[in-house]
Amino acid sequence: MPRGSFITFEGGDGTGKSTQLALFLEYLQTHEIAHIFTREPGGTGIGERIRQILLDPACAEMEDMTEALLYAAARAQLAREIIRPAMDAGKLVVCDRWVDSSIVYQGLAKDLMHGRGGSEEAVRAVNAYATDGLIPDVTILLDLDPAEALGRARSADGRPDRIEAKGISYHRAVRESYLSLAEREARVRVVDAAGPPEAVHARVIDAVQQAVEITK
């Protein structure tokens, strides 16, 4: 049986990742393409417990290194328990975020915000170990100007949200980091996330089809 493909979705807050993932999964269902969907941190019993630690306000004092290792630990479990077996069974695997999230959030963007460098290599090394080098066949990067992403989030619920809480310069650093990653890695396809969801969805399908064959 041929090895299944591995597709991941990435993007900053407010870029519409959840909406586009839902539309993509709907597309797979409509076309009867066998797949599994998973998310991180989480996707396994152990991963969900790690997620709770990462999101717990009582853990706000967490060291950067601890955070990076917890994301990698959740990923190690997900790779072995879910993703590898599904791919070995020839299934298409769709994952909400993967190692690129850590390279950006725990590495590049954090370095940009603190005016330092050098975290990327360490984050890469830890994650290569955690995932046994499991790299997606294609990664959809939803790209949107943070000013627009912020407007979207505001119109969604009308109150200041976690995007504003973090500050626009942080979101600019995240965007810049993702784009620099995309420049260096051909598997990362930048998809313009501006415009109506259906238009963005069509761009997502195009980008996926250019990279991998998704059929029944």
Position 110 contacts ligand TYD (CB under 6 A): no
Upstream peptide bond of 85 is cis (omega within 30 degrees of 0): no
Long-range contacts from 57-63, C-beta under 8 angstroms, 24+ separation: none
Q: In the complex, what is the shortest distance from the CB of residue 173 to ligand TYD, in angstroms, rounded to a whole number?
A: 12
Considering beta carbons, is residue 33 or 180 the nearer one to ligand TYD? 180
Of 58-77, binders to ligand TYD (CB under 6 A) are: 71
Considering beta carbons, is residue 33 or 145 the nearer one to ligand TYD? 145
* Pairing status of strand 138-143 against strand 6-11: parallel
CB atoms under 10 Å from CB of 81, counted, come to 16
Which residue stretches of 56-196 are H helix?
A: 64-78, 84-88, 99-102, 109-113, 119-131, 146-157, 162-166, 168-184
Unique residue bearing structure tokens 């399908």: 205
Q: Which of 102, 131, 139, 177 binds ligand TYD (CB under 6 A)?
A: 102
Q: CA angle 181-107-187, nearest 5°?
A: 25
Of 12-20, 24-32, 136-144, 147-155, which segment contacts ligand TYD by CB under 6 A? 12-20
Q: Which of 17, 175, 201, 203 binds ligand TYD (CB under 6 A)?
A: 17
- Closest C-alpha to 98, from 148, 55, 147, 139: 139
Position 9 contacts ligand TYD (CB under 6 A): no
Position 97 contacts ligand TYD (CB under 6 A): yes
Mask: binding to ligand TYD, 74-93, rule CB under 6 A, as x and -? --------------------
Residues that bind ligand TYD (CB under 6 A): 13, 17-18, 40-41, 71, 96-97, 101-102, 105-106
